Structure 1
Amino acid sequence: MVMRETDKADKKGNIDEIKQYRDARWVTPPEALWRIYGFDLSKNHPLKRKNSVFQVGRVISAHPAKGERYFLCVLLNNIAGSTSYKHLRTVDGMLLPSFHEVVERRGLIEEDNTLDECLTEATLFQMPSSLRRLFATILVFCEPHDVTGLWKKYYDTMSEDYNPNHPSPDLVQQMVLIDIRNMLQYMGKDIRSFPLLDIDHSYDDASHISREIFEEASVEQNPEDVLLCDSLNAEQRSAYDEIMAAICSKQEVNGDDNVRIPNEICVPYSGDAEKDLHTLIDIIFADLNANMADKVYITTRGGETVYHSFDSAVDDPHNYYPSEFLNSLTPNGLPPHVLKLKLGCPVILLRNIDPANGPCNGTRLVVRGFRRNTINAEIVVGQHAGKRVFLPRISLCPPDDEMFPFQFKRKQFPIRLSFAMTVNKSQGQTIPNVGVYLPAPVFSHGQLYVAMSRATSKTNIKILALSPDAEAQEEEAKKIEKKNAKKNVEGKI
């Protein structure tokens, strides 16, 4: 609380009531933070509405064949606070002539040239290798109608890194085709199934050899790696023997075949799961509290970009399942209809795009750039850390066990925000600081091994494991606390 003597008059006998209001008052925590971060405290004029009448209406569904009526329905279901048709047709300060153009500009329906624009946007980053990978991804996952047209339009950009060192146009063309051929093979497809140019096998070192044999034969063995086991020094041999002894012993397993986790990597369970979870978060995200007083750290987050999915029910010519209903569905393993992202946010990949070269189901990425039809992301963990990938919208279908009475298809970027992940999703990744939260016993010892082996050392991992009856204990504690509070109130009365 901050108090000052503001009721004293000046030499002329005047009292500054404005200063009195500002200085002599109670400063609450929200207002204190508002002042610390330098936000405006005055001269804010809220919009006042006189004689406001609120009425709830019903938006009638429309068939896509109805044209402008259907596009108007889409806008009404997605744009809140519209005051007029003119307001609905205004995008970025520009008044568009039709509702059709508005929904296309806002990304609420799929345009005919989406894939073309996707590749155009990717060319702005000037990364030919990543552009070739994006082209292969589009061939496999996006069902393009004009493959030849896309090839002719973007061939020059996809070959930019080969042109300076190879003056022969035919050689450059064959190198680009062979590179795309190899990417398609990693994705389980054959380049001959697409209407592209034929590969001249005189340029191909791997012709008539299976991909697996060619890859293994291309690996160069390092003699030092082969003899590494025999070259351990005394200290390394001691560590190796200690690890092997711990693996072979049963000291960490009790009679019930339960694993005992070492105390130094455990967050002690106090009986309050919520409090202990906050303790785990504070340990893993240590820099968060250190930067709480930094205005730039707290307030600078960048603009939010929103991507809407294009949902459909296969073989539904009568529109029995309208788009607004399909948009409300979020089956397991699919991205949401409304995907909200910011630069630098962590995401997780939901599909195997190119497992041999990094992008696979469960890969952790950080968003580095946005376009309307392309997301530029960087792999942050594993042997492919630092590699940039372009992600297009792809068609996704839920697993068969969702039990929908129709075949549901969603076209969306195959990612989700990922500030945490399951043990299974973390498999194969190396994470600098690992926090493991186990509200229930892990299903098997293998899962515990996967979780603990994500860290690079014992000092970089903390585990919070609740007791099997933790939930029942907390419920009982809340009941006792409630009874005691009731008794205290009755005693005061």
Structure 2
Amino acid sequence: MWRIFSFPLSQIHPAVLALQLHLPNKHMVRFREDDIMSNIVDRERDKRTMLTAFFLKNKADETKPKYLYKDFPKHYTWNGATRTWTPRILKPQRGRIVSANPAEGERYYLRLLLSNVKGPTSFEDLCTVNGVTYATFRKAALEIGLIENDDSLSQCLTEASLFQFPNALRRLFATIMIFCEPGDIRKLWNEHFNAMSEDHQLYCQSVERVQNMVLTDIRAILQSMGKNLTDFDLPNLTEEDLQYGIHREVQEEYGIVVEAEDLCAKDELNSDQKLIFDEIMTHVDNDRPGVFFIDGPGGTGKTFLYKALLAQVRSRGLIALATASSGAAANNMPGGRTAHSRFKIPICVDNNSVCNIKKQSGTAELIRSSKLIIWDEASMAKRQAIEAVDRTLQDIIGVTLPFGGKIMVMGGDFRQVLPVIKRGTRAQIVDSSLRMSPLWSITKKMRLTINMRALNDPWYCGFLLRVGDGTEQSIEGSYIRIPDNMTIPCTDRQNSITELINAVFPSLQNNVHSSDYIISRAILTTKNDSVDEINDKMIDMFQGEEKVYYSFDEAEDDHHNYYPTEFLNSLTVSGLPPHKLRLKIGCPIILLRNIDPSHGLCNGTRLICRGFQRNVIDAEIVVGQHTGKRVFLPRIPLCLSEDDMFPFKLKRKQFPIRLSFAMTINKAQGQTIPNVGVFLPDSVFSHGQLYVALSRGISRKNTKVLVHPAKDFKQPGVYTSNVVYREVLLDG
């Protein structure tokens, strides 16, 4: 006769618990009525299961590669008669562990460890982290970072305070309030006030005054992120703001310091730039409305011209707004902001959208006060977004002229990547372009034609323009030949990738501490899978101790655990950080979210990792106007804004960064990378991608291309596809 015993799983011996991982009936262990519990446990301990045999195999073959338990069947096969694992001879197979719900306690945590720890040799080894053996699977998983600590936000601030940057700590506190969904903000304030106020305490003895100074700093940070101090449970300011009647946004713009070199830039303009500069400044001097589009390939000096215009207008005590479609381009201009953050453009725009700006707000007053607006990389913005700004400005200013009668200067290069339309057809992508907007017909087009970047290599300049215009000689449709002195031979995939890495990152081991070396190099490719492949290879080569951060994933409203944790962990989604984030001191990283655009933390900002603790990363901005600024990055919950690729809403809590030894071609748009590699395991699939990839570098000598041949061509040379939609080109 059989009887079912029910008792806490935490009291079951690991061998019995392990046996249950292979049983579909997850909550019951059956024993004969006349058996004694101790005998049952002893018998199960001596009985070799797949899991215990996995431990023994790892222990016996310590010199061989280590695998996760779920990946073990790819390389070994289970012999049921001898109850041992033997090397697999036939094709690989994937293993499976019976699912477990987080409510099942230790059984779930055992499964979590087996899904993330390679090559354990025993249950004790599985529970050992950094030389310390923990009593439960949960404690081991917590120490590794596979589950979130209940007090992680407070620990994040405590760890950040060790770096002794109070100003950066205050910015981190504001970031946590906005992005990290804290449960008790007042408690965090009380616990970390002293650390956040250390610098102010050196110069002021009054506790009340110090508190006001800290709150004022935090208020400014919150306002730059679009929030107010009154939105949160914090002490009230006991002093009035000294600036009466002036909106913060207007104060910030008036406070931008005009650099002497930017003010002198007008004297160094070439003939094309000088012609455009004089035309726009004539409109500024005579207060005449105008809409301009400055077209020019990468390196023709568009940013240099923008800086000269901004400096000239601001030096007169007037307001000039600098915006861009990408964070990287915005960071290249003094006071630059992304267009979405400046104009509050909706994430999902249609033909009738307007921006979320109230007429009485500081942003509205800033727009009314501005004399000139510059929008860089406008060619990669959806026309619906630009039209929404047009409608909004007309409404705010009360003038029915384009953009409310403001002087609008847009710039870009239609040879580059066009607005991204998810799974969009060619017709949909072209329709979303500024070229298809009614605004285009009333825009004065101006061109920059001298490629400053390639003056020492006129042939390369001409080659790039032919690629961008789609006029480069092609064979079999759209395949063009890459110059022989730019190519890396494609033999074995891994060896070829290694050769490309060595060409772009020569003497890497001798330059791991050089920010200039690291940030001046990158490998560009088409898809995130290839980006991850190269980044994983690079971080293995990079010197230093590795730190691994795991994300905490969940499917929102999944009360029945239809989507196990390791399935969610396995998802690699564009726009989200990886589940397993591997970092080393000095490695380059790229930000994936707009956190504080006014202070350089934009989607696409490149940084260097300077230090890390369990719950916080210390990083340094290394590009743009905020170069050298140290920032703290916490884990934040991230969801896809338009996630229709899954039947559930994925929520991933992770540091909002990726390694950036390699990045996608689209992410690199707007950046100049002196030494660039291009990895094309597949042909480009969108307009302008090949042109963008090849034009990020500064010469053909410093640009290397690795192409996996799509087909066998009878002609010598390396060929790859070039996609160009000629209907969107300026003269098309």
TM-score calculated relative to the size of structure 1: 0.71
Question: Out of 698, 708, 711, which is 1:472 matched to?
Answer: 711
Mapped partners of 1:198, 1:248: distance in 2: 56
The residue number in structure 1 matching 2:515 is: none
Q: Which has the larger radius of gyration?
A: 1
Q: Does the CA contact (< 8 Å) of 1:348 and 1:365 recur in 2?
A: yes
Query: How do 1:454-493 and structure 2 match up within 5 A?
Result: 462=703, 471-474=710-713
Mapped partners of 1:394, 1:340: distance in 2: 17
Q: Does the CA contact (< 8 Å) of 1:89 and 1:96 recur in 2?
A: yes
* Residues 123 and 273 of structure 1: CA distance in aligned 2, closer, same or farther (over 3 Å): same
Query: How do 1:189-204 and structure 2 match up within 5 A?
Result: 189-202=227-240, 204=241
Mapped partners of 2:110, 2:607: distance in 1: 36
Greater CA drift, 106-115 or 251-260: 251-260
Mapped partners of 1:249, 1:430: distance in 2: 17
Matched residues, percent identical? 47
Question: Out of 268, 284, 288, which is 2:484 matched to?
Answer: 268
The residue number in structure 2 matching 1:82 is: 120
Mapped partners of 1:255, 1:90: distance in 2: 56
The residue number in structure 2 matching 1:315 is: 557
The residue number in structure 1 matching 2:85 is: 54
The residue number in structure 2 matching 1:219 is: 256
Q: Does the CA contact (< 8 Å) of 1:271 and 1:470 recur in 2?
A: no
Q: Does the CA contact (< 8 Å) of 1:437 and 1:464 recur in 2?
A: yes
- CA offset digits 1:180-218 (Å, max 9, x no partner): 11211222222211101223452x234553232111222
The residue number in structure 2 matching 1:388 is: 630
Question: Out of 561, 565, 588, which is 1:346 matched to?
Answer: 588
Cα drift, residue 283 of structure 1: 5.4
Q: Does the CA contact (< 8 Å) of 1:269 and 1:465 recur in 2?
A: no
* Residues 148 and 367 of structure 1: CA distance in aligned 2, closer, same or farther (over 3 Å): same
Q: Does the CA contact (< 8 Å) of 1:280 and 1:462 recur in 2?
A: no
Question: Out of 172, 177, 198, which is 1:134 matched to?
Answer: 172
Mapped partners of 2:632, 2:149: distance in 1: 19
Cα drift, residue 78 of structure 1: 2.1
Question: Out of 410, 415, 437, which is 2:657 matched to?
Answer: 415
* Residues 338 and 269 of structure 1: CA distance in aligned 2, closer, same or farther (over 3 Å): same
Query: How do 1:1-20 and structure 2 match up within 5 A?
Result: none
Is residue 140 of structure 2 the alignment partner of residue 102 of structure 1? Answer: yes
Q: Does the CA contact (< 8 Å) of 1:68 and 1:98 recur in 2?
A: yes
Q: What RMSD, in angstroms, separates the aligned Cα atoms of the two structures? A: 4.3
- CA offset digits 1:92-114 (Å, max 9, x no partner): 33332222222111111111001
* Residues 302 and 285 of structure 1: CA distance in aligned 2, closer, same or farther (over 3 Å): closer
Cα drift, residue 458 of structure 1: 5.8
- CA offset digits 1:203-258 (Å, max 9, x no partner): x23455323211122235578855753x55xxx76796797999358995679944
Mapped partners of 1:477, 1:223: distance in 2: 53
Mapped partners of 1:54, 1:465: distance in 2: 40
For residue 198 of structure 2, give the secondary structure of its aligned residue in structure 1.
Answer: coil
Which letter does structure 2 place at the counterpart of 1:274? C
Query: How do 1:430-441 and structure 2 match up within 5 A?
Result: 430-435=672-677
Cα drift, residue 83 of structure 1: 3.6
Is residue 195 of structure 2 the alignment partner of residue 157 of structure 1? Answer: yes
Which letter does structure 2 place at the counterpart of 1:212? E
Mapped partners of 2:597, 2:145: distance in 1: 29
* Residues 208 and 198 of structure 1: CA distance in aligned 2, closer, same or farther (over 3 Å): farther
Question: Out of 199, 205, 213, which is 2:242 matched to?
Answer: 205
* Residues 184 and 256 of structure 1: CA distance in aligned 2, closer, same or farther (over 3 Å): closer
The residue number in structure 2 matching 1:356 is: 598
Mapped partners of 1:65, 1:196: distance in 2: 35
Which letter does structure 1 place at the counterpart of 2:648? F
Q: Does the CA contact (< 8 Å) of 2:551 and 2:579 recur in 1?
A: yes
The aligned length equals 414
Q: Does the CA contact (< 8 Å) of 2:486 and 2:700 recur in 1?
A: no
Return 5+ residue gaps in structure 1 as ranges.
1-44, 292-297, 479-493
- CA offset digits 1:249-287 (Å, max 9, x no partner): 8995679944779xxxx8536887638988876654344
Cα drift, residue 82 of structure 1: 2.9
Q: Does the CA contact (< 8 Å) of 1:434 and 1:461 recur in 2?
A: yes
* Residues 226 and 170 of structure 1: CA distance in aligned 2, closer, same or farther (over 3 Å): same
- CA offset digits 1:111-139 (Å, max 9, x no partner): 10011111111111111111111111111
The residue number in structure 2 matching 1:367 is: 609
* Residues 206 and 255 of structure 1: CA distance in aligned 2, closer, same or farther (over 3 Å): same
* Residues 320 and 269 of structure 1: CA distance in aligned 2, closer, same or farther (over 3 Å): same
The residue number in structure 1 matching 2:151 is: 113
Mapped partners of 2:149, 2:219: distance in 1: 28
Q: Does the CA contact (< 8 Å) of 2:468 and 2:688 recur in 1?
A: no
Cα drift, residue 68 of structure 1: 2.1
Cα drift, residue 373 of structure 1: 0.9
* Residues 52 and 353 of structure 1: CA distance in aligned 2, closer, same or farther (over 3 Å): same
Richer in strand (by share): 2
For residue 544 of structure 2, give the secondary structure of its aligned residue in structure 1.
Answer: coil
Which letter does structure 2 place at the counterpart of 1:197? P
Mapped partners of 1:380, 1:325: distance in 2: 35
Mapped partners of 1:465, 1:246: distance in 2: 33
Q: Does the CA contact (< 8 Å) of 2:488 and 2:704 recur in 1?
A: no
